[in-house]
């Protein structure tokens, strides 16, 4: 009998087809039963309700143990979409006092969410008012699938320090992807220390497992609650901020753009961190948060922008003590070295103007009178000293490393989000502009007096004051003094020593004291308190100059170092000096002397925002034309007959 090969082939084809079907069936069963949790979630959600219990967020105190931020209960209306059954939507909307259109919009927005699932909890209305909560609680049984979750809402005992405290907001998709702790509807720190200390403040969520019957009604706790997880409250924070000093500083900066930073030199603890204009932290809680946040974002003066740590400004003459320290350390000058000042630095057709004082002038009187010429000559001689450094580029790199060791050019790593590094250029920067070995000290002479390309934050300037007060070292500035239950983070108390010998700080301190006793900072002189200071009038290419002050007190037992930076404030002695001295007096004496009350009232009532004319704020009132000052670019311009300060000195 002849074999049928076609039938033989058909047998193998059919068998193979059956095997493929079986494999597909097995693979699908494996996917459904092992890999896919949808049906398990469906089954579990039919039998159990896992109710999240949110922990109490950590409280926040100031350095004197005054409670600043606390919690109060808030309520969110949640639902599990698959459990929602037909209900009276008119009654539901009336209970919540919303329109049907708003109901439909909320429902549509919820379903569009990236993390939407019909089997998981979704937020429908957050931050229910007490009245809404009360009305809804009575009728909740009418709306199957809906339930209420208690959360924590921040409350404040102060209306100040919004930039320090920050706020909390609802998490977004990126937050959830970065940290699996969060689920849709959770809250997270958004600004300030609420953001930087989020993992300490948030605590740990708990879980309550409830049993449901076939129709979804809660029957009790699963396993008598033995599998429930209790929440763990977040850690309380004790700030280094003195809330009374912070409030006083914000009052002094009313109507002004700028910042005040006050530091305790011995510890690096920030006593006040004022950014102006600021905002009331209570604006960013509750149902109005979104609207208020948009209003703050659209404000032309940018109150959400923390100028104290983010603003990068020319430091002006507050930079001069660093130059004196470098010149002494490198042997460019000694205390007897005097440079000429014929109402300015005049060399090879270039003039950087200065005010009238005796000439030639040595280091300490140069700090006292804020002589531009002295520091320009010293800077030029250092950078052009090829016998010692080989080239101007090498000399400049030596100079830069001194500046870096004093806290300039890089972030100080303050425990706040968004810190700017400022800017200290390097040799490569100028090689790119001028060409390699085609520039000299005079090419960048503005750097010597804190202009040119030099930029610093108010925090860095205050930190310089603390470094000089300590005679050569600083502790990393920080706003959190202690985390309850944890202690102090090691990185917050690191000591940084500069490249300058301690002995070279003494003449700089004496020069700053002389500035207060009979120089550019005379308005900072306080009977019974040895204040040391340095003014700055920082040129602003966008409008009126900035008023700056950097100082510390007492001279030989420093308790506070401060920087005041008033944008468009004009001369350093106009706003910087009086506000700085008021901050020092307020902190050390806890009150102001009767004669100083009028000064504080004048400062608090004075406005400078009318002079704002920078790209950051848009057009505003311009001040009358006046004489030019050292350029903020690479080459300074001529300065003739500078105006005197209000206290009779010139800066």
Per-residue model confidence as pLDDT tens digits over 564-581 = 999 999 999 999 999 999
Q: Which of 240-249, 277-286, 424-433, 468-477 has the lowest mean pLDDT?
A: 277-286
| Residue 272 CB partners (closer than 8 Å, separation 6+) | 241, 242, 245, 246, 249, 260, 261, 262, 583
> Does pLDDT of 9 surpass 80?
no
Residue 623 to residues 158, 162, 539, 610, Cα–Cα distance (Å): 36, 31, 14, 9
Q: In percent, how much of the chain has pLDDT > 70? A: 88
39 vs 385, which has greater pLDDT? Answer: 385
Quick one: angle between helices 427-434 and 392-405, nearest 10?
Answer: 140
Write out the two tokens for 585: 């007096």
Q: Which residues pair with 150 in a beta bridge?
A: 75
Query: How do residues 205-256 score in pLDDT, each as one tens digit?
Result: 998 887 766 555 666 677 767 778 889 999 999 999 999 999 999 999 999 9
DSSP state of 225: G
Q: Are 240 and 480 in contact (CB under 8 A)?
A: yes
DSSP state letters, 139-203: HGGGSTTEEEEEEEEEEES-S--HHHH--EEE--HHHHHH-TT--TT-EEE-SHHHHHTHHHHS-
Give kind and range of the element (H or E) at residue 137.
helix 130-139
d(CA 29, CA 31): 5
Q: How far apart, in Å, are the Cα atoms of 649 and each of 436, 519, 521? A: 42, 6, 8
Which residue in the block uniquely carries the two structure tokens 């009150």? Answer: 591
> What's the CA gap between 234 and 198, in Å, rounded?
9
The predicted pLDDT at position 125 comes to: 85
Residues 488 and 481: beta-carbon distance below 8 Å:
yes
Q: Report the range out of 12-26, 522-536, 610-624 with the highest average pLDDT.
A: 522-536
Question: Is 48-235's fold the same as 243-281+307-611's?
Answer: no
CA distance 522 to 524: 5
Checking if the pLDDT of 508 tops 60, the result is: yes
Please list, in sequence order, all residues whose beta carbon lies within 8 angstroms of the beta carbon of residue 31, skipping any fewer than 6 positions away. none
Who wins on pLDDT, 290 or 627?
290
Give the 3-state secondary structure of 77-113.
EEECHHHCCCCCHHHHHHHHCCCHHHHHHHHHHHHHC
Selected from 3.40.720.10, 3.40.50.2000, 2.40.50.1020, 3.90.1310.10, the CATH number assigned to the domain covering 48-235 reads 3.90.1310.10
Q: What is the pLDDT of residue 624?
A: 36
Q: Of 189, 205, 98, 101, whose CA–CA distance to 150 is shortest?
A: 205
Extract the tokens encoding 550: 């950097």
The alpha carbon of residue 340 and the mean position of all alpha carbons in its chain are separated, in whole angstroms, by 43
Q: What angle do CA 479, 482, 483 make, to 5 degrees?
A: 110
Q: Which residue has the higher pLDDT, 22 or 242?
A: 242
Quick one: tokens of 573?
A: 């002695």
Residue 613 has a pLDDT of 60
Using the predicted structure, report yes or no on whether residue 114 has a pLDDT greater than 80.
Answer: no
Work out the number of other CB atoms within 10 angstroms of the CB of residue 510: 17
Question: Shortest CA distance to 460 belongs to which of 275, 624, 309, 600?
Answer: 309
Q: What is the mean pLDDT of the chain?
A: 87
Handedness of CA 277, 282, 288, 290 (dihedral sign): positive
Q: Reduced to 3 states, what is the DSSP secondary structure of residue 136? A: helix
What's phi and psi for 478, nearest 5 deg?
-155, 155
Q: For 53-57, 266-270, 283-287, 368-372, which range has the lowest pLDDT when averaged over its residues?
A: 283-287
Q: Give the model's confidence band at 489: pLDDT under 50 very low, under 70 low, under 90 confident, else very high.
A: confident
Note the pLDDT of residue 213: 64
The region that residue 204 occupies, defined by phi over 0 for left and psi between -120 and 50 for alpha, beta otherwise, is: beta
For residue 76, how many C-alpha atoms fall within 13 Å in the half-sphere facing its CB? Answer: 22
Residue 359 has pLDDT above 50, yes or no: yes
Which pLDDT tens digit goes with each residue over 617-645? 544 444 333 333 333 333 333 333 333 33
Q: What pLDDT does residue 214 have?
A: 59
* Residue reference for tokens 């019909």: 118
Q: Where are the domains of the chain?
A: 48-235, 243-281+307-611
Q: What is the pLDDT of residues 134-154, one digit of tens each?
A: 888 888 888 888 888 877 889
Q: Does 535 have pLDDT greater than 50?
A: yes
Distance CA 581, CA 290 (A): 39
Residue 648 has a pLDDT of: 36
Q: Is 448 in contact with 631 (CB distance < 8 Å)?
A: no
What whole-number percentage of the chain has pLDDT above 90? 61
Residue 381 confidence (pLDDT) above 50: yes
Concatenated DSSP letters of 344-380 = EEEETTEEEE-----SSB-HHHHHHHT-HHHHHHHHH
Whether 646 shows a pLDDT value over 50: the answer reads: no
The secondary structure element, H or E, covering residue 243 is helix 243-252
- The two tokens of residue 429 are 């920067």
Read off the pLDDT of residues 469-478 as tens digits, 9 standing for 90 and up: 999 999 999 9
Mean pLDDT of 456-468: 98
Looking at the predicted structure, is the pLDDT value of residue 104 above 60?
Answer: yes
Lowest mean pLDDT across 87-91, 109-113, 555-559: 109-113
Higher-pLDDT residue of 382, 490: 382
Please give the pLDDT value at position 215: 54
- The band of 29, judged by pLDDT with boundaries at 50, 70 and 90, is confident
DSSP state of 6: H
Q: Which helix (H) or strand (E) holds 552?
A: strand 546-553
**Spatial distance between the Cα atoms of 207 and 227, rounded to a whole number of angstroms:** 9
Topology of the domain comprising 243-281+307-611: Beta-lactamase (3.40.710)
């Amino acid at each position: 009998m002849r074999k049928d090969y076609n039938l033989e082939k058909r047998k193998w084809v059919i068998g193979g087809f059956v095997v493929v079907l079986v494999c597909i069936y097995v693979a699908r069963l494996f996917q459904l039963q092992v890999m896919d949790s949808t049906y398990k979630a469906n089954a579990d959600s039919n039998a159990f309700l896992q109710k999240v219990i949110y922990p109490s967020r950590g409280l926040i105190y100031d350095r004197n143990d005054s409670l600043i931020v606390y919690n109060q209960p808030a309520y969110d209306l949640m639902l599990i979409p698959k459990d929602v059954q037909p209900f009276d939507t008119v009654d539901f909307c009336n209970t919540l006092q919303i329109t049907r259109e708003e109901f439909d919009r909320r429902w549509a927005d919820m379903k569009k969410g990236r993390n939407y699932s019909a089997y998981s909890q979704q937020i429908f209305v957050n931050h229910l008012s007490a009245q809404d909560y009360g009305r809804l609680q009575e009728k909740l049984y009418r709306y199957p699938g809906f339930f209420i979750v208690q959360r924590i809402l921040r409350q404040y005992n102060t209306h100040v320090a919004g930039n320090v405290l920050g706020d909390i907001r609802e998490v977004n998709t990126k937050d959830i992807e970065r940290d699996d702790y969060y689920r849709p509807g959770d809250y997270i720190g958004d600004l300030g220390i609420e953001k930087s200390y989020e993992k300490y403040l948030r605590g740990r969520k708990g879980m309550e497992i409830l049993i449901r019957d076939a129709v979804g009604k809660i029957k009790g706790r699963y396993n008598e609650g033995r599998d429930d997880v209790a929440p763990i409250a977040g850690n309380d924070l004790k700030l280094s901020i003195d809330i009374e000093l912070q409030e006083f500083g914000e009052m002094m900066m009313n109507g002004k753009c700028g910042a005040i930073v006050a530091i305790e030199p011995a510890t690096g603890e920030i006593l006040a961190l004022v950014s102006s204009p600021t905002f009331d932290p209570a604006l960013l809680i509750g149902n109005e948060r979104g609207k208020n946040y948009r209003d703050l974002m659209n404000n032309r003066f940018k109150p959400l922008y923390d100028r104290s740590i983010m603003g990068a400004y020319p430091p002006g003459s507050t930079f001069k003590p660093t130059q004196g320290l470098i010149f002494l350390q490198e042997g460019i000058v000694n205390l007897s070295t005097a440079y000429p000042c014929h109402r300015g630095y005049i060399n090879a057709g270039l003039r950087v103007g200065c005010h009238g004082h005796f000439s030639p002038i040595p280091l300490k009187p140069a700090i006292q009178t804020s002589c531009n010429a002295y520091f320009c000559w010293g800077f030029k001689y250092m950078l052009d000293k090829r016998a010692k450094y080989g080239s101007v580029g090498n000399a400049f790199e030596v100079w830069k490393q001194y500046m870096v060791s004093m806290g300039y050019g890089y972030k100080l790593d303050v425990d706040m989000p968004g810190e700017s590094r400022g800017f200290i250029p390097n040799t490569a920067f100028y090689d790119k502009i001028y060409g390699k070995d085609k520039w000299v000290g005079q090419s960048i002479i503005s750097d010597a007096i804190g202009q040119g390309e030099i930029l610093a934050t108010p925090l860095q300037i205050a930190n310089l004051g603390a470094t000089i007060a300590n005679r050569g070292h600083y502790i990393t500035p920080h706003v959190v003094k202690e985390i309850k239950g944890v202690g102090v983070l090691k990185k917050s108390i690191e000591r940084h020593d500069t490249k300058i010998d301690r002995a070279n700080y003494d003449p700089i301190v004496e020069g700053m004291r002389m500035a207060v006793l009979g120089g550019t900072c005379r308005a900072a002189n306080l009977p019974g308190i040895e204040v040391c200071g340095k003014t700055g009038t920082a040129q602003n290419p966008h409008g009126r100059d900035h008023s700056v002050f950097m100082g510390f007190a007492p001279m030989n037992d420093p308790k506070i170092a401060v920087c005041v930076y008033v944008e468009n404030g004009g001369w350093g002695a106009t706003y910087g000096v009086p506000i700085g001295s008021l901050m020092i007096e307020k902190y050390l004496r806890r009150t102001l002397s009767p004669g100083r009350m009028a000064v504080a009232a004048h400062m608090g009532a004075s406005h400078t925002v009318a002079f704002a004319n920078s790209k950051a704020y848009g057009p505003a009132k311009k001040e009358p034309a006046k004489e030019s000052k050292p350029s903020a670019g690479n080459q300074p311009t001529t300065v003739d007959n500078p105006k005197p300060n209000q206290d009779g000195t010139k800066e």
